[in-house]
Amino acid sequence: MFLKKITWPVLFCCATFPFILEGCRQQADTKRTTVQVDSLPATDKNPYVTYDQSPMDMSYYPINYPLLKMNKQDSTSLVARVIYSRPHKKNRTIFSHSSMSLCQYGKEWRLGANEATEIDFFRNVIIGGKTVSKGTYVIYCIPEPDKWTIVLNSNLYTWGLHTDTSKDVMRTEVPVQRQSPALEDFTMVFMDEPGGAGLLMAWDNVKTVLPINFSKKSIANSQ
């Protein structure tokens, strides 16, 4: 009788013990897994990267030139390329008469940040009614409320803008247009224009376009 009384509890414990043990093992595995994931060391930053606040950018004309080049569909159509660094607005006053603004009216501005902005022409073009020979030039501007004076200069490879007017190749004026909303990052990009291309320059609440004229017939024949 005594044996019968203890048999059922013992049998129940024996029957349920494997399930209890398995549950404990799963919980332990879960805890071990969690600890392993949480204890992974943080990835170190790349020690060779400088993290420039004004990253460099490059724009081409024709606009799809890089894609054509990668697909080996193009060899002669490249007209222009601009290389510049893109500063950010960061709640600052960009264009005004104040000396506290980033780009003061009437003062030369390098159209970007870091090194002087450069533009390459891979064929002769016409800007402001003047022929510009193929080659590499520094491009900068003198902003005003209603217009910008765009300057091409041959004083290459300078950090910042070191103007030497004796090396100016040409100057031309382009009208300023208002835009909304304001653009956080300064941007230069080429656009299609009937007579060739336009170099769009935009930042904050203003933009302007520099017309660049050339024959598109040779480009069409090369593609």
Length of the chain: 223
Indicate if the pLDDT at residue 3 is higher than 70. Answer: no
Does residue 22 share a domain with residue 116? no
Indicate if the pLDDT at residue 11 is higher than 80. Answer: no
- Rounded mean pLDDT of 24-53? 55
| Structural domains counted in the chain | 2
pLDDT at 37 (0 to 100): 46
Question: How far is 132 from 143, CA to CA, in rounded Å?
Answer: 22
- Residue-wise DSSP of 100-122: TSSEETTS-B-SSSSBPPEEEES
Does residue 62 share a domain with residue 28? no
Indicate if the pLDDT at residue 20 is higher than 70. Answer: no
Greater model confidence, 28 or 101:
101
Indicate if the pLDDT at residue 41 is higher than 70. Answer: no
Asked whether residue 46 is domain-assigned, the answer is: no
Question: How far is 181 from 203, CA to CA, in rounded Å?
Answer: 10
Asked whether residue 33 is domain-assigned, the answer is: yes
Does residue 72 share a domain with residue 149? yes
- Rounded mean pLDDT of 88-100? 94
Decide if 215 contacts 197 (C-beta within 8 A): no
54: number of Cβ within 10 Å: 15
Q: How confident is the model at residue 2 (pLDDT cuts 50, 70, 90)?
A: very low
- Rounded mean pLDDT of 37-58? 66
Residues 6+ apart with CB under 8 A from 151: 108, 139, 140, 141, 142, 168, 170, 171
Range of the structural domain that residue 20 is part of = 1-39
In a 3-state reduction of DSSP, which class is residue 7? helix
Asked whether residue 45 is domain-assigned, the answer is: no
pLDDT at 6 (0 to 100): 47
Indicate if the pLDDT at residue 92 is higher than 60. Answer: yes
Asked whether residue 98 is domain-assigned, the answer is: yes
Helix (H) or strand (E) holding 174: strand 168-175
Indicate if the pLDDT at residue 213 is higher than 60. Answer: yes
Asked whether residue 47 is domain-assigned, the answer is: no
Does residue 139 share a domain with residue 60? yes
Question: How far is 191 from 106, CA to CA, in rounded Å?
Answer: 27
Least confident of 50-59, 82-91, 161-170: 50-59
Closest by CA position to 119, among listed 199, 21, 28: 199
> How is residue 193 written in tokens?
């224009």
pLDDT in tens, 152-168: 999 888 777 777 888 99
Does residue 81 share a domain with residue 107? yes
Does residue 61 share a domain with residue 34? no
Mean pLDDT, the chain, whole residue set: 81
Does residue 22 share a domain with residue 132? no
pLDDT at 43 (0 to 100): 60
pLDDT at 148 (0 to 100): 98
Question: How far is 77 from 90, CA to CA, in rounded Å?
Answer: 38
Does residue 71 share a domain with residue 106? yes
Question: How far is 20 from 46, CA to CA, in rounded Å?
Answer: 48
Question: How far is 223 from 217, CA to CA, in rounded Å?
Answer: 10
- Rounded mean pLDDT of 141-158? 94
